[in-house]
Amino acid sequence: MNVVMIEDEDGEMTDLHYYCSDFCASTDPAYDGWYGCVEADSNEVCEACEAPIPGVFESNGLIADPTVCKICGDFYYGPSGEDDEYACDVCIGEWAAQDA
C-alpha cells in the first residue's frame, strides 16, 4: 500500500490517505513522492480508485485488534471465533500439555 501523509501548518501529521499504488497516490494534492511498501493492520480502501487493500491481520483471517487472553491476561493476535475461547497460543499449548 502507498500512503500520503497529511500535515498541518506546523508539519505535524494529522491524517493518512491510503492508496493501492503509487499511481493512485500521485493523484493526491498532498503527494510528496513515493511512500510505499506500507502494511496496515486492517483492511483499507484506495482513496482514488476504491480498490480494496487487504490488511495484514484481516487478510489472513486473523482479528485486526489485539484480544486479551482470558487465562493470562496478555494481549495477542489470533484467530477470530469461539474455537480458541480467546486464549493465546502459550496458554493453549499449556492446556494441550496438561491433557497429554
What are the domain boundaries of the chain?
A: 2-60, 67-99
CA distances from 64 to 4, 76, 78, 89 (A): 22, 10, 9, 17
**27-61: pLDDT as tens digits:** 999 999 988 788 887 788 899 988 888 777 664 55
Which amino acid makes up residue 80?
A: S
Full-prediction pTM beyond 0.85? no
Question: Is residue 69's pLDDT more than 90?
Answer: no
